[in-house]
Structure 1
Amino acid sequence: MNAQANTMFSGYIICGTPRTGSTLLCDLLKSTNVAGNPKSFFRRQSISRWVEQWGLPDAQTLGETDFKNAYLKAVIKAGKAGTDVFGLRLMRENLDELSAFLDQIFPLLPSDKMRLEAAFGHPLYIHLTREDKLAQAISLIKAEQTGLWHIAPDGTEIERVGTPKHPEYDFERIHRERTDLERYDAAWISGFDDQKIKPLHIAYETLAVEPAETLARICDALGVSSPSADTIKPGVAKLSDEISADWMRRYSSDIEKMTEPTFPEAQNSAICASQ
């Protein structure tokens, strides 16, 4: 057994929202060969794919509770990937579903934290956030519209969903996504506070420019060796471009117009000021 895994943490849960650099971070952690292989094992759209990949009988064959136990066991094995450290990526929109999933295995536990720790031991909670929520919303919408989610540093497409489409600026959609992302991130923060969790905070803005230093912080917290900085080669690149910058300018302009007083209001203000 790796002596360095003798730590207070059994693993980690990356607590994020879409387009915060979680794919980059997951790849970096996997590349250490000592920190598991974090994936979105409880993303509802992906569970059937994992079941097929692992060769698990389905819920109809096993029954609901036995299936969930078997799935959890397989998740832990996959998340460790032959190491002593378990890794999981969890988006806030999937937390309630995961909590309900675990409640069938560990009933009567009163909190998300207790259910997560019953399943995964004592994990390090990594709060992965993005300070610029407007840029995050634009990145998400562009990926949804174009189907292109990730590219390699050389520009090679890594993940594309659907046929290529040209992105179209949509103020209302951007505003809605920005609001939702702010709400999801606030929900993580309030959940940590309510359940007395002290997460390790990682900002996308730091991760993107200091991947080696960010990885070292996490490995140090976990008690495992971090690879030397010169061996760390991020496998994904930023997708932001001139379209992203243009959308940010247009959104800021549209927001400013919305906050400007209408002509009658401005006229009334001028009249009152002259009296």
Structure 2
Amino acid sequence: MTATRYESYVICTSPRSGSTLLCSLLEATGVAGVPDSYFHQPSVAEWIKDLGLSPDPAKGEVETLQEVFRKAIALGSGDTGMFGLRLQRHSFACFTEKLALLHPDPATDVGRLEAVFGRTLFVHLTREDKLDQAVSFLKAQQSGLWHRAPDGSELERLSAPQELRYDREAIAAEMAEMVAMDAAWADWFKGEEIDPLRLTYGGLSADPIGTLKTVLTALGRDPAAADTVEIGVAKLSDATNEDWVRRFRTEATGTQA
């Protein structure tokens, strides 16, 4: 049986689920685009800024959106003929709202997505342990450091470091948010009749190259393109993460560590 040939893929995810690692692996193959969060903030003005475009008040909203999506597709495809997009749940509502303005005729979100990006594979990347995910998110917010390379150099820092401080209420709130994001994706997949390729943080962490080959195969690309790929993102979890997780669980059960 011939594998389906896709023109694009969307990694549907939530923060601290391993999407940066997955995106870097896919880009490194040279055959699967340059996946990134091209519509990260729920704001067209931010999309224009992030894509390196110049605002033009003379253009209407639809014309502006056409320019934005053209630029995103060019950047997210590179010279591979495939567009890759990472879509965080917090930007989903704005993204689909603007898609509907750009392509009002399709009756579904999937129809609008494929009107822009072509035949699309949906990948659902989740992190099974929501406590670990919430702790990772809170620690990244406080430290300002979101991603590090295997050699220890910083890949992404969004703010100056603050003092790391355990905050039970903040962790609980983030856990609830992560659960809600997963539930929202599940509801959307059901409503749109999507059967996504399902990946987990645990599986990706344990076997990044094997996971990469799974995605390439699903996309109809040669999985051998993964053979020479090197891992470019390191885990940030350390003793602080372990301590916060242990403390949270201890407080939740009312027992002593």
TM norm structure 1: 0.86
Alignment partner of 1:79 is 2:73: no
Q: Contact between 2:123 and 2:198, CA under 8 Å: does it hold in 1?
A: yes
Q: How many residues align?
A: 254
Larger radius of gyration: 1
For residues 145-184 of structure 1, the aligned pairs below 5 Å read 145-184=142-181
Alpha-carbon distance in structure 1 between the residues aligned to 2:43 and 2:188: 25
Amino acid at match of 1:198: D
Alpha-carbon distance in structure 1 between the residues aligned to 2:62 and 2:45: 16
Q: Tell me which residue corresponds to 1:57.
A: 54
Alpha-carbon distance in structure 2 between the residues aligned to 1:63 and 1:246: 52
Which of the two has greater helix per residue? 1
Where 2:57 maps in the other structure, the secondary structure is helix
What RMSD, in angstroms, separates the aligned Cα atoms of the two structures? 2.1
Q: Tell me which residue corresponds to 2:113.
A: 116
Where 2:16 maps in the other structure, the secondary structure is coil
Alpha-carbon distance in structure 1 between the residues aligned to 2:64 and 2:93: 19
Q: Tell me which residue corresponds to 1:10.
A: 7
Post-superposition offset of 1:52: 4.6
Sequence identity (%): 42
Cα deviation digits, residues 32-52 of structure 1 (max 9, x gap): 111000110111278656635
Post-superposition offset of 1:55: 4.8
Alpha-carbon distance in structure 2 between the residues aligned to 1:168 and 1:109: 48
Where 1:231 maps in the other structure, the secondary structure is coil
Q: Tell me which residue corresponds to 2:91.
A: 94
Q: Contact between 1:57 and 1:67, CA under 8 Å: does it hold in 2?
A: no
Of 237, 249, 272, the match for 2:246: 249
Where 1:216 maps in the other structure, the secondary structure is helix
Post-superposition offset of 1:74: 1.1
Q: Tell me which residue corresponds to 2:228.
A: 231
| Runs of 4+ displaced beyond 6 Å | none
Amino acid at match of 2:194: I
Cα deviation digits, residues 47-102 of structure 1 (max 9, x gap): 65663565533252322111001111111111111111110000111111100111
Alpha-carbon distance in structure 1 between the residues aligned to 2:203 and 2:63: 42
Alignment partner of 1:211 is 2:223: no
Q: Contact between 1:14 and 1:125, CA under 8 Å: does it hold in 2?
A: yes
Alpha-carbon distance in structure 2 between the residues aligned to 1:183 and 1:161: 25
Post-superposition offset of 1:231: 2.1
Amino acid at match of 1:134: L
